[in-house]
Structure 1
Amino acid sequence: MAQFNDIPLHELQQGLADGTVTLVDVREQDEWNAGHIKGAQFLPLSRFDPAKLPAPEAGKKIVIYCRSGKRSVTAMEQARLGGRRDCDTHLGGGILAWVNAGLEVEKA
Protein backbone atom coordinates (compact mmCIF):
# COMPACT_ATOMS: atom_id res chain seq x y z
CA MET A 1 0.00 0.00 0.00
CA ALA A 2 1.15 3.51 -0.78
CA GLN A 3 2.20 6.11 1.77
CA PHE A 4 -0.57 8.56 2.61
CA ASN A 5 -0.48 11.80 4.56
CA ASP A 6 -2.60 13.04 7.47
CA ILE A 7 -3.47 16.71 7.52
CA PRO A 8 -3.67 18.32 10.97
CA LEU A 9 -7.00 19.97 11.82
CA HIS A 10 -5.53 23.47 11.94
CA GLU A 11 -3.99 23.05 8.48
CA LEU A 12 -7.29 21.79 7.08
CA GLN A 13 -9.13 24.75 8.61
CA GLN A 14 -6.57 27.17 7.17
CA GLY A 15 -6.72 25.52 3.75
CA LEU A 16 -10.51 25.72 3.68
CA ALA A 17 -10.39 29.36 4.78
CA ASP A 18 -7.82 30.43 2.19
CA GLY A 19 -9.08 28.21 -0.64
CA THR A 20 -5.99 26.01 -0.94
CA VAL A 21 -7.84 22.80 0.00
CA THR A 22 -10.50 20.92 -1.96
CA LEU A 23 -12.27 18.68 0.56
CA VAL A 24 -13.96 15.42 -0.46
CA ASP A 25 -16.32 13.49 1.85
CA VAL A 26 -16.48 9.75 1.07
CA ARG A 27 -19.09 8.82 3.70
CA GLU A 28 -22.58 7.67 2.72
CA GLN A 29 -25.69 9.78 2.10
CA ASP A 30 -27.20 9.37 5.59
CA GLU A 31 -23.91 10.38 7.20
CA TRP A 32 -23.58 13.39 4.86
CA ASN A 33 -27.14 14.48 5.67
CA ALA A 34 -26.47 14.21 9.42
CA GLY A 35 -23.55 16.63 9.16
CA HIS A 36 -20.56 17.37 6.97
CA ILE A 37 -17.73 19.88 6.85
CA LYS A 38 -18.86 23.04 5.08
CA GLY A 39 -17.50 23.29 1.56
CA ALA A 40 -16.86 19.55 1.16
CA GLN A 41 -17.75 17.75 -2.04
CA PHE A 42 -19.75 14.53 -1.67
CA LEU A 43 -18.38 11.37 -3.33
CA PRO A 44 -19.50 8.31 -1.32
CA LEU A 45 -17.15 5.35 -1.20
CA SER A 46 -19.94 2.95 -2.25
CA ARG A 47 -20.02 4.71 -5.65
CA PHE A 48 -16.42 5.94 -5.63
CA ASP A 49 -14.91 6.61 -9.03
CA PRO A 50 -11.50 8.32 -9.18
CA ALA A 51 -12.61 9.98 -12.44
CA LYS A 52 -15.24 11.90 -10.44
CA LEU A 53 -12.68 13.45 -8.11
CA PRO A 54 -12.18 17.18 -8.59
CA ALA A 55 -9.61 18.04 -11.25
CA PRO A 56 -6.19 18.96 -9.89
CA GLU A 57 -5.66 22.70 -9.59
CA ALA A 58 -2.36 24.49 -9.18
CA GLY A 59 -1.81 25.48 -5.57
CA LYS A 60 -4.72 23.36 -4.28
CA LYS A 61 -4.50 20.17 -2.28
CA ILE A 62 -7.24 17.52 -2.39
CA VAL A 63 -8.06 16.21 1.08
CA ILE A 64 -10.35 13.21 1.60
CA TYR A 65 -12.25 12.47 4.78
CA CYS A 66 -14.73 9.96 6.18
CA ARG A 67 -16.01 9.16 9.67
CA SER A 68 -12.79 8.05 11.35
CA GLY A 69 -10.09 7.72 8.69
CA LYS A 70 -10.50 4.16 7.37
CA ARG A 71 -12.68 4.71 4.30
CA SER A 72 -10.61 7.72 3.30
CA VAL A 73 -7.54 5.45 3.08
CA THR A 74 -9.53 3.07 0.85
CA ALA A 75 -10.58 6.01 -1.35
CA MET A 76 -6.99 7.30 -1.59
CA GLU A 77 -5.79 3.84 -2.60
CA GLN A 78 -8.53 3.57 -5.25
CA ALA A 79 -7.58 7.03 -6.52
CA ARG A 80 -3.90 6.01 -6.70
CA LEU A 81 -4.79 2.83 -8.59
CA GLY A 82 -6.90 4.98 -10.92
CA GLY A 83 -3.87 7.10 -11.74
CA ARG A 84 -4.44 10.02 -9.36
CA ARG A 85 -1.19 10.78 -7.57
CA ASP A 86 -2.54 14.04 -6.13
CA CYS A 87 -5.08 12.41 -3.76
CA ASP A 88 -2.72 11.26 -1.01
CA THR A 89 -3.89 13.35 1.96
CA HIS A 90 -6.72 12.74 4.40
CA LEU A 91 -8.07 13.89 7.72
CA GLY A 92 -6.81 10.92 9.71
CA GLY A 93 -9.38 11.14 12.49
CA GLY A 94 -12.18 11.91 10.07
CA ILE A 95 -15.21 13.96 10.96
CA LEU A 96 -15.07 12.51 14.47
CA ALA A 97 -11.84 14.47 15.06
CA TRP A 98 -13.48 17.59 13.59
CA VAL A 99 -16.54 17.31 15.84
CA ASN A 100 -14.49 16.34 18.91
CA ALA A 101 -12.48 19.54 18.41
CA GLY A 102 -15.74 21.48 18.73
CA LEU A 103 -15.84 22.51 15.06
CA GLU A 104 -19.14 23.05 13.26
CA VAL A 105 -20.78 20.81 10.70
CA GLU A 106 -23.36 21.69 8.10
CA LYS A 107 -26.51 19.59 7.74
CA ALA A 108 -28.02 18.72 4.38
Structure 2
Amino acid sequence: MPVPVHNLTPDDVARGLAEDTILLVDVREPHEVAMAGIPDAVNLPLSQFDPSAIPAPAGRRVVFLCAAGVRSIHASEAAQAAGLPYDAHLAGGLKAWVMDGQEIVRG
Protein backbone atom coordinates (compact mmCIF):
# COMPACT_ATOMS: atom_id res chain seq x y z
CA MET A 1 0.00 0.00 0.00
CA PRO A 2 1.45 3.39 -0.97
CA VAL A 3 2.35 5.85 1.75
CA PRO A 4 1.11 9.43 1.50
CA VAL A 5 3.05 11.68 -0.84
CA HIS A 6 4.91 14.33 1.12
CA ASN A 7 4.62 17.95 0.02
CA LEU A 8 7.91 19.81 -0.18
CA THR A 9 8.11 23.58 -0.57
CA PRO A 10 10.24 25.34 -3.17
CA ASP A 11 12.64 26.27 -0.34
CA ASP A 12 12.89 22.61 0.74
CA VAL A 13 13.72 21.54 -2.80
CA ALA A 14 16.14 24.42 -3.47
CA ARG A 15 18.02 23.60 -0.28
CA GLY A 16 18.13 19.89 -1.16
CA LEU A 17 19.44 20.64 -4.64
CA ALA A 18 22.09 23.01 -3.26
CA GLU A 19 23.17 20.40 -0.70
CA ASP A 20 22.97 17.58 -3.30
CA THR A 21 20.52 15.64 -1.10
CA ILE A 22 17.70 15.63 -3.69
CA LEU A 23 17.39 13.98 -7.09
CA LEU A 24 14.68 16.00 -8.85
CA VAL A 25 12.62 14.08 -11.43
CA ASP A 26 10.56 16.28 -13.75
CA VAL A 27 7.58 14.33 -15.11
CA ARG A 28 6.39 17.05 -17.50
CA GLU A 29 6.42 16.44 -21.23
CA PRO A 30 9.51 17.41 -23.29
CA HIS A 31 7.78 20.42 -24.88
CA GLU A 32 7.02 21.77 -21.38
CA VAL A 33 10.60 21.23 -20.22
CA ALA A 34 11.84 22.99 -23.38
CA MET A 35 10.01 26.15 -22.30
CA ALA A 36 11.30 26.28 -18.71
CA GLY A 37 12.66 23.97 -16.05
CA ILE A 38 14.64 23.62 -12.88
CA PRO A 39 18.41 23.22 -13.29
CA ASP A 40 19.70 19.65 -12.86
CA ALA A 41 16.25 18.01 -12.97
CA VAL A 42 16.00 14.67 -14.78
CA ASN A 43 13.12 14.51 -17.29
CA LEU A 44 10.99 11.34 -17.29
CA PRO A 45 7.61 12.26 -18.83
CA LEU A 46 4.60 10.83 -17.03
CA SER A 47 3.02 9.85 -20.37
CA GLN A 48 5.66 7.14 -20.72
CA PHE A 49 6.70 6.88 -17.09
CA ASP A 50 8.73 3.83 -16.13
CA PRO A 51 9.81 3.89 -12.48
CA SER A 52 12.76 1.61 -13.32
CA ALA A 53 14.16 4.45 -15.49
CA ILE A 54 14.66 6.72 -12.47
CA PRO A 55 18.42 7.11 -12.04
CA ALA A 56 19.93 5.58 -8.92
CA PRO A 57 19.62 8.37 -6.36
CA ALA A 58 23.02 7.65 -4.75
CA GLY A 59 21.81 8.51 -1.25
CA ARG A 60 19.67 11.44 -2.36
CA ARG A 61 15.93 11.75 -1.84
CA VAL A 62 13.93 11.38 -5.06
CA VAL A 63 11.46 14.26 -5.47
CA PHE A 64 8.99 14.53 -8.35
CA LEU A 65 8.09 17.75 -10.15
CA CYS A 66 5.42 18.74 -12.67
CA ALA A 67 3.70 21.98 -13.67
CA ALA A 68 1.24 22.32 -10.77
CA GLY A 69 1.74 19.34 -8.45
CA VAL A 70 -0.80 16.80 -9.76
CA ARG A 71 1.26 14.63 -12.13
CA SER A 72 4.10 14.55 -9.63
CA ILE A 73 1.78 12.89 -7.09
CA HIS A 74 0.81 10.30 -9.73
CA ALA A 75 4.50 9.64 -10.44
CA SER A 76 5.22 9.12 -6.75
CA GLU A 77 2.29 6.73 -6.45
CA ALA A 78 3.45 4.81 -9.55
CA ALA A 79 6.98 4.55 -8.17
CA GLN A 80 5.63 3.28 -4.85
CA ALA A 81 3.42 0.75 -6.66
CA ALA A 82 6.61 -0.51 -8.34
CA GLY A 83 8.17 -1.03 -4.90
CA LEU A 84 10.29 2.12 -4.77
CA PRO A 85 10.33 4.28 -1.61
CA TYR A 86 9.85 7.62 -3.42
CA ASP A 87 7.21 9.57 -1.56
CA ALA A 88 7.90 13.28 -2.13
CA HIS A 89 6.99 15.96 -4.64
CA LEU A 90 7.31 19.70 -5.11
CA ALA A 91 3.90 20.94 -3.96
CA GLY A 92 2.51 23.38 -6.50
CA GLY A 93 5.06 22.28 -9.09
CA LEU A 94 7.01 24.62 -11.31
CA LYS A 95 4.36 27.30 -10.81
CA ALA A 96 5.11 27.42 -7.07
CA TRP A 97 8.85 27.34 -7.81
CA VAL A 98 8.57 30.40 -10.09
CA MET A 99 6.22 32.24 -7.69
CA ASP A 100 8.83 31.68 -4.95
CA GLY A 101 11.47 33.39 -7.10
CA GLN A 102 13.64 30.33 -7.54
CA GLU A 103 16.04 29.89 -10.48
CA ILE A 104 14.78 28.39 -13.73
CA VAL A 105 16.38 27.59 -17.06
CA ARG A 106 14.67 28.45 -20.33
CA GLY A 107 14.93 26.57 -23.59
**Structure 1 Cα separation of the partners of residues 57 and 30 of structure 2:** 25
Unaligned runs of 5+ in 1: none
The two structures have a TM-score, normalised by structure 2, of 0.93
- RMSD in angstroms over aligned alpha carbons? 1.2
1:60-79 paired onto structure 2 within 5 Å? 60-79=60-79
Contact 2:10-2:102 within 8 A present in 1 as well = no
Q: Which runs of 4+ in 1 moved over 4 A?
A: none
Q: Which secondary structure state, in structure 1, belongs to the residue aligned with residue 24 of structure 2?
A: strand
1:8-87 paired onto structure 2 within 5 Å? 8-58=9-59, 60-85=60-85, 87=86
Q: Which secondary structure state, in structure 2, belongs to the residue aligned with residue 3 of structure 1?
A: coil
**Structure 2 Cα separation of the partners of residues 56 and 32 of structure 1:** 21
**Structure 2 Cα separation of the partners of residues 48 and 26 of structure 1:** 8
Question: Quick one: which amino acid aligns to residue 93 of structure 1?
Answer: G
The two structures have a TM-score, normalised by structure 1, of 0.92
User: How many correspondences in the alignment?
Assistant: 106
C-alpha offsets along residues 40-95 of structure 1, whole Å, 9 cap, x if unaligned?
0000001100000121422x11110100110001111110111111x100001100
Question: Quick one: which amino acid aligns to residue 91 of structure 2?
Answer: G
Q: Which piece of structure 1 moves more, 1-10 or 87-96?
A: 1-10
Question: Quick one: which amino acid aligns to residue 84 of structure 1?
Answer: L
Question: Quick one: which amino acid aligns to residue 19 of structure 1?
Answer: D
Shift of 1:10: 1.3
**Identity percentage of aligned residues:** 40
Residue 87 of structure 2 is matched in structure 1 by 88
Q: Which secondary structure state, in structure 1, belongs to the residue aligned with residue 25 of structure 2?
A: strand
Unaligned runs of 5+ in 2: none
Shift of 1:2: 3.3
Contact 2:23-2:57 within 8 A present in 1 as well = no
Shift of 1:102: 1.8
